[in-house]
Amino acid sequence: MTDRFCSPVSFLASFLFDQEVNQKLFIITGPIGAGKTSWCLQLIREAQASGLLPCGLVSPAVFEAGAKTGIDLVDVSSGERRRLAVRRAAQETEAPAGLATQSWRFDESVVTWGNQALSQLQNPRLLILDELGPLELLEQAGLVAGLKVIDSRHYDLACVVIRPSLLPTALKRWPWAETLSIPTLHTAYAEREA
């Protein structure tokens, strides 16, 4: 990966400069807390400031008293925000009803809302999906419309957040994708900003 992709600003600039871009997919990856969602949110702000209308979904964390207690889902186009998931209590031993992982219980009505938003996209110029995780890639549940829109390749540029443990699965599904690792990008970007 070249240095021109070290920040959302330079990433977007290279996209806007390259008039031949079409159907490019970048997988944004990195460990928990590396700044993947922050990177996507900055990319959205930069795109909007450049007159580009990004679309898709982002899932920022919700913190209470310094602890991550929830995950919201934000429609990039409209800015509408809904609570996607809440942390399961540590003492829960039984599998919860409905859509859940080991750590999170998902609001199925918000998942449906997110899937509807993704299903309505028509040939977006810049698509951002934060994130497609084990529900989507391993269980074919959750935001499955995100899988379909990436599979269709009906976009100019797509940025999809995938955790490192799911990277091989994602690259097998989308072998044309390029990978950006946030720890490297985040460090280089922070050093440049200092």
> Residue 93: what pLDDT?
66
> Residue 165: what pLDDT?
95
**How large is the average pLDDT for residues 80-101?**
84
Domain boundaries, the chain: 21-189
Helix (H) / strand (E) element for 149: namely: helix 144-152
Alpha-carbon gap, residue 132 to 136, rounded angstroms: 6
Residue 133 has pLDDT above 50, yes or no: yes
Confidence of residue 97 (pLDDT cuts 50, 70, 90): confident
> Residue 192: what pLDDT?
39
Strands 81-87, 104-106: pairing is: antiparallel
pTM of the model: 0.86
Give domain 21-189's CATH architecture: 3-Layer(aba) Sandwich (3.40)
Using one digit for the tens of pLDDT, what is the confidence trace for 76-90?
A: 999 999 999 999 987
Judge contact between 159 and 8, C-beta under 8 A: no
> Six-digit token pair at 130?
């934060």
Instruction: Please list the alpha-helical segments (H only) found in 50-143.
Output: 108-119, 134-139
How far from each other are the two terminal CA atoms of the chain, in whole angstroms? 22
